[in-house]
């Protein structure tokens, strides 16, 4: 048995879903006004709730969000990567993302990928029944001083490993962003961290090794597309257990 943990934005999909909804504003001026109204929020999730409120003023509803999300492409090679990892004996795939459940479910269903994942951990979201305004809530975390107040991926993964598996199992973690650094640092020898080349996760992990001599215990691989990850797993990681 091994656990595969995917980030979502700029990992499974080749965009930031939160940024992509800006296309729903009637004009750039309207978008800039909305962003100015959000500038005081410290938590990104709270900022997004205000964006959704602003979009609601322009009568943006569920069907508009669905069409917007369906425009977002998957990262090259990730559909096949997900299918491949799912096909391996005793693999267990989950998503841990700072996006939201509405966006993730919409995109996964559009690309027929939803059934590959055992669990999805992200910020709760739903459409208000009365007016179809999109509502997002913080997932929440209490133990980490370095991650945002709404989510610590390390905390989620460690709890998942404790509660779902009776013995220690290998972990494959695939991500790209700043909030993927904390879980990467927590993984053990024999695990595999895959960071998207040129993105914050890869840059920050390299910086912490160069400046602070802090190296990951897990194996480390930088990727540009899903095929590179798949090939590395086949040629290197799977042979170790």
Give the DSSP per-residue string, 156-223: HHHHHHHHH-SS---EEEEE-SGGGHHHHHHPPTT-EEEEETTSHHHHHHHHHHHHH----SSEEEEE
Are 111 and 189 part of one and the same domain?
yes
Position 143 pLDDT exceeds 90: no
Using CA atoms, how far residue 84 sits from 81, 223, 233, in Å, is 5, 17, 10
Position 66 pLDDT exceeds 90: yes
Q: Which domain holds residue 163?
A: 2-14+73-125+140-240
Does residue 207 lie within any of the structural domains? yes
**Cβ pair 119, 97 in contact under 8 A:** no
Q: How confident is the model at residue 227 (pLDDT cuts 50, 70, 90)?
A: very high
Does residue 134 lie within any of the structural domains? no
In total, how many domains does the chain have? 2
Sign (positive or negative) of CA dihedral 130, 60, 48, 138: positive
Are 65 and 77 part of one and the same domain?
no
* pTM more than 0.85: yes
Are 9 and 21 part of one and the same domain?
no
- pLDDT tens digit sequence for 179-203: 999 999 999 999 999 999 999 999 9
Sign (positive or negative) of CA dihedral 103, 226, 80, 216: negative
Are 81 and 42 part of one and the same domain?
no
Start-end of H helices in the chain: 17-20, 28-37, 44-57, 62-70, 78-87, 101-110, 153-164, 181-186, 200-212, 226-232
Does residue 130 lie within any of the structural domains? no
Domain boundary among 45, 70, 95: 70
- pLDDT tens digit sequence for 73-118: 999 999 999 999 999 999 999 999 999 999 999 999 999 999 999 9
- Average pLDDT, integer, range 136-165: 93
Position 241 pLDDT exceeds 90: no
Paired tokens of 25 = 């504003």
Are 119 and 53 part of one and the same domain?
no
pLDDT of residue 214: 83
Does residue 175 lie within any of the structural domains? yes
Are 59 and 109 part of one and the same domain?
no
Are 201 and 233 part of one and the same domain?
yes
What are the backbone dihedrals phi and psi of residue 44, each rounded to the nearest 5 degrees, phi first?
A: -60, -35
pLDDT of residue 183: 97
- pLDDT tens digit sequence for 9-36: 999 999 999 999 999 999 999 999 999 9
Are 111 and 210 part of one and the same domain?
yes
Are 29 and 9 part of one and the same domain?
no
Position 142 pLDDT exceeds 80: no
pLDDT of residue 239: 79
What are the backbone dihedrals phi and psi of residue 203, each rounded to the nearest 5 degrees, phi first?
A: -65, -45
In this structure, what DSSP letter does residue 233 have?
Answer: I
pLDDT of residue 141: 86
End-to-end Cα spacing for the chain: 10
Q: What is the C-alpha radius of gyration for the chain, rounded to an integer number of angstroms?
A: 18
- Distance CA(182)–CA(83), nearest Å, equals 27
Q: What share of the chain has pLDDT > 90, as a percent?
A: 88
Are 57 and 91 part of one and the same domain?
no
Query: Is beta strand 171-175 parallel, antiparallel or unpaired with respect to 192-196?
Result: parallel
């Amino acid at each position: 048995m091994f656990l595969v943990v995917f980030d979502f934005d700029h990992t499974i999909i080749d965009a930031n879903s939160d940024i992509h909804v800006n296309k729903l504003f009637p004009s750039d001026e309207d978008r800039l006004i909305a962003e100015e109204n959000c500038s005081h929020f410290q938590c990104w999730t709270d900022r997004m709730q205000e964006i959704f409120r602003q979009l609601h003023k322009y009568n943006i509803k569920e069907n508009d969000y669905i069409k917007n999300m369906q425009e977002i492409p998957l990262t090259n090679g990730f559909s096949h990567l997900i299918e491949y990892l799912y096909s391996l004996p005793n693999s267990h795939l989950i998503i841990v993302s700072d996006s939201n459940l509405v966006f993730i479910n919409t995109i996964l269903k559009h690309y027929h990928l939803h059934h590959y994942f055992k669990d999805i951990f992200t910020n709760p979201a739903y459409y208000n029944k009365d007016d179809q305004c999109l509502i997002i809530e913080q997932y929440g975390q209490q133990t980490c001083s370095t991650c945002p107040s709404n989510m610590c991926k390390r905390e989620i993964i460690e709890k998942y490993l404790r509660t779902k598996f009776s013995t220690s199992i290998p972990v494959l973690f695939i991500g790209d962003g700043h909030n993927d650094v904390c879980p990467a640092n927590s993984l053990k020898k024999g695990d595999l961290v895959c960071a998207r080349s040129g993105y914050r996760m890869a840059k920050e992990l390299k910086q912490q090794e160069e400046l602070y001599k802090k190296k990951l215990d897990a194996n480390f691989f930088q990727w540009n597309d899903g095929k590179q990850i798949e090939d590395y797993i086949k040629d290197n990681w799977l042979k170790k257990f």
